Amino acid sequence: MSGCKVGIVGIGAVGTEMVKILRQRAFPADEIRIMARTERDEEVAGEVFHVVPASPEAFDGLDYAFFAGTEGAKGASQTYGWDAVSRGVVVIDNGDDFRMDDRVPLVIPEVNPEALENHQGFIANPNCSTIIALMALGPLHKAVGIKRFIASTYQAVSGTGRSAIIELEKQVQAYAADKELVSEVYPHQIAFNVLPQIGGLKDTMPGYTSEEAKMLFEAKKILNAPDIKVSSTCVRVPVFNGHSEAINIEFERPVSPEEAREILSGAPGVTVVDDVANAQYPLPLNSSGQDNVQVGRIRPDDSAENGLALFVAGDNIRKGAALNAIQIAEKLIGTGK
């Protein structure tokens, strides 16, 4: 297919990464139209784009529109999403406003591409931590069947946005200069600290945050497994980019680490890094900027029947957001790599 006209709504960390990935993967786009609140020029990877104000009419003539809003930047897809669909645009939304909407498939192309069948023009990207977890859990569930999993996440500040990256940088610099550390983005200092809260409290799940609830509800929908049991604790850590997760799994039957490695070694979008004796395991530093999710530390979990433990790391801005959205469009037009 040639001659695609693509829109990107938002030009923050995720929107910028979307532009880069479209170019890197030679997506067949004759036009990339960037929309935001204000009109201006933006340079991305040496290319200057004229940003136009978002409006219903700004979507006219587009084939695909990627809404790049992160968890804290709601509203754009609520305001323009379904109207864009009515104008003949396929909407792929990175925000969480419509993820649990029955009309909207929630898709990781390597895990549940069949969900794209008979879509209604609006497709949702899962949460970044959900994507990174399910890149490992999806192939294992398909091969064996998962009854329950527990995910403990270590999430980078880039998941909050540019302001959080800047805050961590400034706090580290202030610490090195023996100056006061100022916290504005987060309620506590993030440098040299961890914050066991991502998102607000979830009314329907007392004691759990919204980020933790997303892992539960999104995993059930993506895996088409309403009876799967899920618990998570989501923690913000002083890492610039790249989420990591420790995951404990209970399967329907015994699974050896060797079998799990074999399954995961053949899974698209997954790289097995599992040689503890030589200090080889998933690291956010190594996964940052990479398409694949790394999986390692695969070992028995004797605390559960048919249990297994593993550790994953992935780029939350890339595979956890921008890349996944573009891969959805590639699936739709048949150019997926």
Chain centroid to CA 238: how far? 18
Among 4, 141, 234, 243, the one annotated catalytic: 243
Burial category of 317 from C-beta neighbours within 10 Å (exposed 0-12, middle 13-18, buried 19 and up) = buried
Among 128, 141, 188, 234, the one annotated catalytic: 128
CA distances from 34 to 59, 90, 330 (A): 10, 16, 19
User: What is the residue whose two structure tokens read 């990781």?
Assistant: 108
Amino acid at 103: R
Q: Answer yes or no: 243 catalytic.
A: yes
How far apart (Å, rounded) are the C-alpha atoms in residues 209 and 327? Answer: 29
Amino acid at 332: L
- Residues ≥6 apart with Cβ < 8 Å to 206: none
- The answer to whether 328 and 125 are in contact (CB under 8 A) is yes
How far apart (Å, rounded) are the C-alpha atoms in residues 290 and 293? Answer: 8
Amino acid at 246: A
Question: b/e per residue, 280-313, with b = 16+ CB within 10 A?
Answer: ebbbbebbbebbbbbbbbbeebeebebbbbbbbb
Q: Is 247 helix (H, G, I), strand (E, B) or coil?
A: strand
Chain centroid to CA 223: how far? 16
Q: Are strands 270-272 and 307-314 parallel, antiparallel or unpaired?
A: unpaired
- The answer to whether 249 and 303 are in contact (CB under 8 A) is no
CA distances from 278 to 271, 274, 281, 319 (A): 17, 9, 9, 27
Active site residues: 128, 243
